[in-house]
């Protein structure tokens, strides 16, 4: 979604800001803009890609050392140059992530400002300006304005009257301040800071910072000084580059053996027959007490939770597990039984609905554990305990390696819980060994099937509809396969439990559809084969993805050789990722930044 960058120092701000905005492109956006201050202010904005903005910068080069920039993902008002940030009011310029909920009421009061956009952000700019008289500092005007605002924001504000500072603030939308020698770089996402500095201050909600070249002063909303904690940014440049791949998505699919190994390092030990996550902040006695687990996430994180829920149920005798879509749960009158813990699953750690659930669950005094990828993210900072999955920056909007790592981390949690509750060595042995073998198995499958899947995908690019089917643990995998295909290929794709076919979706089978059926060689194999027969009998075009060597009747069969059993869905899912990727590429789509989508959904 929207992205913020800011720079103050001795470099040319335009170049630094454009570089930062390019790093933020992956988040999804539809317009961008920058303003820099020198002898005069230079405001440049463009609809579309950052390349459009870059062309304007080339025609309007400055050597200014201070500026702010933004990529906008439209919420209030269409994507257009007028609605793009920065917004100007009087002497100030503002970029904003989030939503000002009471902007209509505030707008009515701001009669002196002639509004030129449809955005809530311009209202905030006008509000700050209305409080910014000759006696008032920029930070004081910002502080007063924010006390009148309802909603969420991460903001950066510049004033032509005080060009030696950038004022930033946050409430519900991330902001990070990179502190370098004689320069300060601001971003809403750590990826824009990489290469500038390793030292960063992660702003907390309710904090305001005055950033000067190489120094930062922090206060709360009552202007009380706060001390800033400087932390290290972990990612390096290579993690945010394509490294020879055509797309980040393919890179992220192919690097799963390595990223998954990072998830499991030090956490799974087959020799000692142990699996353990540090960082839960729970004693063995507390773990033993857990009777109910609720897993919460959105999109792929939700499907990862759903798959993991099957494993938790299998691993821990008597444990009850619910999996919830965050945007639904947050508005329900839900009840959590006593001795519950909540697993909060998020790649970005910034998803607004997931964050809202976390806060509500904490308010109820229930223990929250994060399963998070982005280090230093808001959810990671607010949970009571939990783990980073260490999959590294995921740049492509479609989530792939995070899913695999999330499932693995939650499965380790299941083993740990079972161990704490006294499960026998034999019972857990299979899961521990499979987790340890999973990176190699995925590597083998990726190497063996990449070219084959490219060819298979070519046969199915012409369809406009798809059904993904699976039973038991393959059901959440089917849901995830459908999500991956629809978001990057724009083929309408739905996932169903195989047993549900006769209850409705069978009516859809015709020549406009193809079906992806996940089949595992286990006790449900014959049931799956019956579902397959039902589809074949109606002229279906079925792609079976299976670990079985048995006779199967289908238009296309992808046979995966793996020694795994419980974790077969994770392996078959990797095939689905490749399939979605190659279909999307064949259809000529922007696979890394699919239309209308954002990487990090920081507003409702």
Binding interface with ligand M6R (CB under 6 A): 298-301, 346-348, 351, 354, 397-399, 483, 487, 597, 600-601
- Which CB atom, from 127 or from 591, has the smaller least distance to ligand M6R? 591
- Which CB atom, from 298 or from 380, has the smaller least distance to ligand M6R? 298
- Which CB atom, from 340 or from 347, has the smaller least distance to ligand M6R? 347
Instruction: Output the smallest distance, CB 397 to ligand M6R, in A.
Output: 5
Cα 301 to Cα 307: distance, rounded to the nearest angstrom: 10
Structure token pair of residue 463 = 């369809």
The yes-or-no answer on residue 599 being catalytic is: yes
Let me know: does 578 contact 452? Beta carbons within 8 Å: no
DSSP letter at 180? Answer: E
Let me know: does 525 contact 532? Beta carbons within 8 Å: no
The residue nearest ligand M6R at its CB is 299
Let me know: does 563 contact 590? Beta carbons within 8 Å: no
**Residue 112 CA to its chain's centroid (Å):** 40
Cα 371 to Cα 388: distance, rounded to the nearest angstrom: 6
The SS3 of residue 224 is coil
- How many residues does the structure list for the chain? 604
Instruction: Output the smallest distance, CB 457 to ligand M6R, in A.
Output: 18
Instruction: Output the smallest distance, CB 302 to ligand M6R, in A.
Output: 7
Instruction: Output the smallest distance, CB 483 to ligand M6R, in A.
Output: 6
| Candidates 2, 211, 298, 357; catalytic one | 2
**Phi first, then psi: what are they for 476, rounded to 5°?**
-60, -30
Q: What angle do CA 228, 230, 235 make, to 5 degrees?
A: 145
- Which CB atom, from 298 or from 482, has the smaller least distance to ligand M6R? 298
The SS3 of residue 548 is coil
- Which CB atom, from 294 or from 483, has the smaller least distance to ligand M6R? 483
Instruction: Output the smallest distance, CB 577 to ligand M6R, in A.
Output: 10
Instruction: Output the smallest distance, CB 343 to ligand M6R, in A.
Output: 13
The yes-or-no answer on residue 108 being catalytic is: no
| Candidates 49, 251, 367, 599; catalytic one | 599
Cα 470 to Cα 522: distance, rounded to the nearest angstrom: 13
Q: What angle do CA 584, 588, 589 make, to 5 degrees?
A: 60
What sign does the dihedral 269-274-277-279 (CA atoms) show? negative
Instruction: Output the smallest distance, CB 72 to ligand M6R, in A.
Output: 18
**Helix (H) or strand (E) run with residue 292 in it:** strand 292-297
The SS3 of residue 467 is strand
Structure token pair of residue 263 = 């998830």
- Which CB atom, from 298 or from 435, has the smaller least distance to ligand M6R? 298
- Which CB atom, from 117 or from 400, has the smaller least distance to ligand M6R? 400
Strands 320-325 and 215-220: what pairing?
A: unpaired
Residues with catalytic annotation? 2, 599
């Amino acid at each position: 979604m929207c992205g913020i960058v800011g720079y103050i120092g001795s470099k040319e701000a335009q170049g630094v800001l454009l570089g930062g905005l390019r790093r933020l492109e992956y988040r999804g956006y539809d317009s961008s803009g920058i303003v820099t201050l020198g002898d005069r202010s230079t405001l440049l904005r463009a609809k579309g890609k950052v390349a459009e903005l870059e062309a304007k910068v080339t025609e309007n080069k400055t050597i200014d050392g201070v500026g702010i920039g933004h990529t906008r993902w439209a919420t209030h008002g269409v994507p257009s140059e007028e609605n793009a940030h920065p917004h100007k009011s009087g002497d100030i310029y503002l970029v904003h992530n989030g939503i000002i909920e009471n902007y209509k009421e505030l707008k009515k009061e701001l009669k002196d400002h002639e509004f030129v956009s449809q955005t809530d952000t311009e209202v905030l700019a006008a509000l700050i300006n209305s409080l910014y008289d000759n006696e008032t500092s920029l930070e004081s005007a910002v502080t007063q304005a924010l006390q009148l605002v309802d909603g969420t924001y991460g903001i950066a504000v510049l004033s032509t009257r005080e060009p030696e500072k950038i004022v930033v603030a946050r409430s519900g939308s991330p902001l990070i301040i990179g502190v370098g020698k004689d320069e300060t770089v601001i971003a809403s996402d750590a990826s824009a800071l990489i290469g500038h500095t390793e030292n960063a201050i992660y702003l907390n909600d309710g904090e305001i910072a005055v950033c000067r070249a190489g120094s930062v002063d922090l206060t709360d909303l009552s202007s009380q000084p706060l001390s800033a904690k400087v932390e290290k940014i972990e990612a390096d440049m290579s993690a945010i580059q394509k490294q020879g791949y055509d797309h980040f998505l393919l890179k992220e699919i192919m690097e799963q053996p390595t990223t998954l190994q990072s998830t499991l390092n030090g956490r799974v030990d087959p020799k000692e027959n142990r699996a353990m996550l540090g960082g839960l902040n729970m004693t063995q006695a507390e773990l033993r007490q857990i009777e109910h687990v609720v897993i919460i996430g959105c999109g792929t994180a939700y499907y990862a939770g759903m798959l993991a829920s099957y494993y938790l149920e299998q691993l821990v005798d008597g444990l009850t597990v619910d999996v919830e879509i965050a945007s639904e749960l947050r508005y329900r009158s839900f009840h959590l039984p006593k001795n519950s813990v909540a697993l909060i699953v998020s790649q970005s750690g910034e998803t607004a609905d997931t964050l809202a659930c976390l806060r509500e669950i904490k308010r109820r005094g229930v223990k929250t554990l994060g399963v998070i990828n982005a280090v230093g993210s808001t959810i990671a900072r607010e949970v009571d305990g939990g783990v980073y999955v260490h999959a590294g920056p995921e740049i492509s909007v479609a989530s792939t390696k995070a899913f695999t790592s999330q499932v693995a981390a939650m499965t380790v949690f299941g083993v740990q819980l079972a161990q704490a509750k006294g499960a026998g060595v034999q019972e857990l042995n299979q899961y521990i060994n499979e987790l340890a073998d999973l990176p190699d198995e995925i590597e083998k499958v990726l190497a063996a099937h990449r070219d084959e899947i490219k060819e298979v995908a070519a046969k199915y690019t012409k369809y406009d509809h798809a059904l993904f089917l699976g039973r038991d643990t393959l059901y959440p995998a089917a849901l995830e396969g459908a999500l991956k295909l629809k978001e990057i290929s724009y083929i309408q794709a739905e996932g169903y439990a195989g047993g549900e076919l006769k209850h409705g979706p069978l009516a859809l089978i015709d020549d406009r559809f193809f079906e992806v059926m996940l089949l595992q060689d286990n006790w449900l194999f014959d049931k799956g084969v019956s579902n397959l027969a039902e589809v074949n009998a109606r002229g279906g075009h079925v792609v079976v993805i299976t670990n079985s060597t048995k006779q199967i009747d289908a238009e296309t069969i992808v046979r995966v050789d793996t020694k795994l059993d419980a974790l077969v869905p994770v392996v078959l899912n990797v095939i689905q990722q490749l399939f979605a990727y190659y279909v999307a590429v064949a259809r000529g789509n922007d696979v890394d930044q699919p239309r209308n989508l954002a990487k990090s959904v920081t507003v409702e």
